Chain A
Amino acid sequence: MSSPAMVADQRKTHDGDDYILEVTNLKKHFPISSGIVFQRQVGAVRAVDGISFNVIRGETLGLVGESGCGKSTTGRTILQLYRPTEGSVKFEGQELSTMAGSDLRQMRRRMQIIFQDPFASLNPRMTVGSIVSEPLQIHKMYNNKQERQQYVEQLMERVGLNPYFINRYPHEFSGGQRQRIGIARALALQPSFIVADEPISALDVSIQAQVVNLMEELQEELGLTYLFIAHDLSMVRHICDRVAVMYLGKIVELGPVDEVYDNPQHPYTQALLSAVPVPDPVVEDDRQRIIIAGDLPNPSNPPTGCNFNTRCPVVFDLCYQEPDPPLIEVRPDHYVSCHRVT
């Protein structure tokens, strides 16, 4: 299940590639406790349950799945905002899961996050200037106040905000502009890796393209690597190079984005893709939908056997008996975890 073999495999195929991030058998379980005075653990929510993947420098890796599948937890555990229960996260060759204190803080300069909700993720009592310059103060960069202000204005201009608004508060901006503030804050320390946790889900349709285009421009200009967490599968196809599909804390399919979208192998990926509506009535009329019944099982009590066996349209005996198989390579760089495929 833990798949060091797979990681080794991936390394072989990508010999020339430079990995910025290597995640091996990462687990994050949240304890469920019971009792008022004497608390004891009665179970665990297995939010992330043993996932392994690498991120190549300069690429955008998409992480998709339904709510509750563990994609946001994965992003946060990688950045050590949650400490992993098990497994290893290597960023630029250094192990993060055992790192703490100032060492970890130093690493955080190079990895940042953009949050989903631009309303909740900005402190309403801070001005844009202080929001964007706070990371600079923490990391003692640009100690000269004037230089700092100049740098912040530059950043604001870069993300499409008028530097004139440096002393305004978040509530004076629209959703799209607030997300730009969040992006400027993430860029302030000149990171090489950014986790974008559903950065456009809360935005209006006509604003989404603006933010996505900005993120693409910045990537090209600054050589950024993104882990793009999203549930909008059409946008993922547009922005990502590779995509990992998660279901109940595990990666079920991983591969280059066009390959996975045109040739999905896992029954869950197939159903997920077929469920996405296309804004074209002619295409919609001809589409075959795979409707999967039921809901996501409770991650504190996952089914025995393969995680997907409660909803899988092509389930058979083995799926109830054996846990989900490791990711195996079905085509070059295309990995699937399914008993049907094995």
Chain B
Amino acid sequence: MSALLEVKDLVVRFYTQEGTVYAVNGVSFDLEEGETLGIVGESGSGKSVSCLALMGLIPSPPGKVESGTVVFEGRDLLTLKPDQMRLIRGKEIAMIFQDPMTSLNPVLTIGTQITESLKLHEGMNTTQSRKRAADLLDLVGIPDAYRRLDDYPHQFSGGMRQRVMIAMGLSCNPKLLIADEPTTALDVTIQAQIIELVKQLKDEFNMAMIWITHDLGVVAGIADRIQVMYGGRIMESGSSHEVFRDSRHPYTVGLLGSLPRLDSSGEEKLTQIEGSPPDMRNEPVGCPFAPRCDVREQLQLEKCWEERPPLETVPDASGAEAHIMSCWSDIREGVAENV
């Protein structure tokens, strides 16, 4: 299978009154057809900005994509003109946002909002597009779909609004669906409903998906591959099994250690990562995680402050090179010393 999407050395900065924000500092990844990639990171890690960049949705000014390429089916999206990009956005690549409250237009009916892209991309007329919209609402589990086309967003609950967003995202059979924290604003029981729905639809539509989240638990169940981001950089990436079960980067290890588990009684204290996430207004030098990294402290690695560690492929447990990480030390001590 060839890669559907190839992102290389993406750099995004925002030039604000308070100085330059170094939001994304060299991010590269690719995505196969039909694959689900989970991008995990805290607020300010650059996970959303990198996906907005590949959709051409960075507000400019103040934002600017400084360098990099985003090749989608052989075309570099970053070089496309706005009207060419408009033909791809919503049709080939669709996006679901975190807050269904603010990403739906409150003064337009749901029907108008879903049919908009059907008319634009598929050239449907009103009758056809309304029929298709009703089918889509039915598909995402909204009862009495045809009648509800004339309802406004405030007449739906949070979970139902997110279903409407999903219906909109799917309307033109996209090849890639980007879901930016789609369940963060929802309660757990509703979150479970939405995750089940997306899983099922993903198979039905055979799309690739990028699922952005700060909740490591959510992606464990849906992603084929996980990419952990911090300070605008990729820290570690690998199959979901690898990243969770055989974490190699000190940040991933720390993050997993700081999470209490539902399935075990937590008597022991949580291991905490000291300090706080980096201020993205400082120009990144070295590894962004260096100030909080206990491995760096133990090994007294000076390099971490001075030089940015490259993203390198490391062999996994079985020797296959499926695990990528960006760190000067391999926390599996033995490996680091033997090399």
A and B found bound together: yes
Which residue of the partner chain, among B188, B269, B270, contacts A231 with CB atoms under 8 Å? B188
Instruction: Tell me, rounded to whole Å, the shortest Cβ–Cβ distance linking B285 to chain A.
Output: 21
Name A's interface SS.
helix
The reply to whether B196 and A289 form a contact with Cβ atoms under 8 Å apart is yes
Interface residues of A in 275-302 (CB under 8 A from B): 275-285, 287, 289, 291-293, 295-296
| Chain B positions within 8 Å of A231 at CB level | 187-188
B188 contact set on A, CB distance < 8 A: 66, 231, 233, 272, 275-276
**Is A34 an interface residue, CB under 8 A from the partner?**
no
Q: Which residues of B contact A209 (CB under 8 A)?
A: 258-259, 270-273
CA distance A295 to B156 in the complex (A): 10
| Inter-chain contact B262/A278, CB cutoff 8 Å | yes
Residues of A with C-beta under 8 A to B263: 278, 283
Chain B CB within 10 Å, residue with most, of A174, A233, A258, A295: A295
A67 interface hit (Cβ, 8 Å): yes
Residues on the B chain within 8 Å of A292, using CB = 189, 193
Shortest Cβ distance from residue A178 to the other chain B in the assembled complex, whole angstroms: 11
Which of B187, B195, B215, B277 is in CB contact (< 8 Å) with A67? B187
| Cβ B220 vs Cβ A257 within 8 A | no
* Among A210, A273, A293: residue with most chain B CB under 10 A: A210
Binds A, one of B51-59, B69-77, B240-248: B240-248
By beta carbon, the residue of chain B nearest A279 is: B216
> Taking CB as reference atom, which chain A residue is nearest B192?
A275
Cβ of B266: which chain A residues have Cβ within 8 Å of it?
237-239
B:142-180 near A, CB below 8 Å: 157-160
- A238, B267: Cα distance in complex, Å: 7
Contact check, B277 vs A204: say whether CB atoms are below 8 A apart.
yes
> Does B65 belong to the interface (CB within 8 Å)?
no
Q: Mark A215-236, 1 if CB is under 8 A from B, else 0.
A: 0100000000000000101110
Task: Using known A-B contacts A231-B188, A280-B220, A293-B193, determine if residue A208 contacts B258 with beta carbons closer than 8 Å.
Answer: yes
In the complex, whether A207 has a CB less than 8 A from a CB of chain B is: yes
Residues on A with beta carbons closer than 8 Å to the beta carbon of B217? 234, 276-279
User: A206-B277, A237-B262 are known contacts. Are A277 and B218 too (CB-CB below 8 A)?
Assistant: yes
Q: Does chain A have a CB within 8 A of B261?
A: yes
Q: Which residues of A contact B276 (CB under 8 A)?
A: 174, 176-177, 204, 207
* B260 in contact (CB, < 8 A): yes
Residues of B within 8 A of A (CB): 42-43, 157-160, 187-193, 195-196, 214-218, 220-221, 240-241, 244-245, 254-256, 258-263, 265-266, 269-274, 276-277, 292
Q: Cα distance A206–B42 when bound, in Å?
A: 8
Binding site for B on A (CB under 8 A): 66-67, 174, 176-177, 204-210, 212-213, 216, 231, 233-235, 237-239, 257-258, 261, 271-285, 287, 289, 291-293, 295-296
Task: Provide the residues of chain A in CB contact with B245, threshold 8 Å.
Answer: 280-282
Nearest B-chain residue to A65, judged by Cβ = B187
Contact residues in B for A296 (Cβ distance below 8 Å): 187
Q: Once the chains are docked, how many angstroms separate the CA of A271 from the CA of B187?
A: 12
Q: What is the CA–CA distance of A282 and B242 in the complex, to the nearest angstrom?
A: 11
Chain A contacts for B258, CB-based, 8 A: 205-206, 208-209
Q: Are A291 and B196 in contact (CB under 8 A)?
A: yes
A206 to B289, CA, bound (A): 12
In the complex, the answer to whether A278 meets B193 with C-beta atoms within 8 Å is no
Q: A216 vs B214: C-alpha distance in the bound complex, in angstroms?
A: 24
**A–B complex contacts, Cβ < 8 Å, 29 sampled:** A66-B189, A66-B190, A174-B277, A177-B276, A205-B255, A206-B277, A207-B276, A210-B272, A213-B269, A213-B270, A231-B187, A233-B262, A234-B261, A237-B265, A238-B260, A239-B260, A257-B265, A272-B189, A275-B188, A276-B188, A277-B191, A277-B195, A278-B217, A281-B220, A291-B189, A291-B196, A292-B189, A292-B193, A293-B193
Given known A66-B188, A280-B245, contact A205–B218 (CB-CB < 8 A): no
Please, which residues of chain A bring their CB within 8 A of the CB of B270? 209, 212-213, 238
CB-CB under 8 A from B244, the residues of chain A are: 279-281
Nearest-CB distance from A238 to chain B (Å)?
Answer: 3
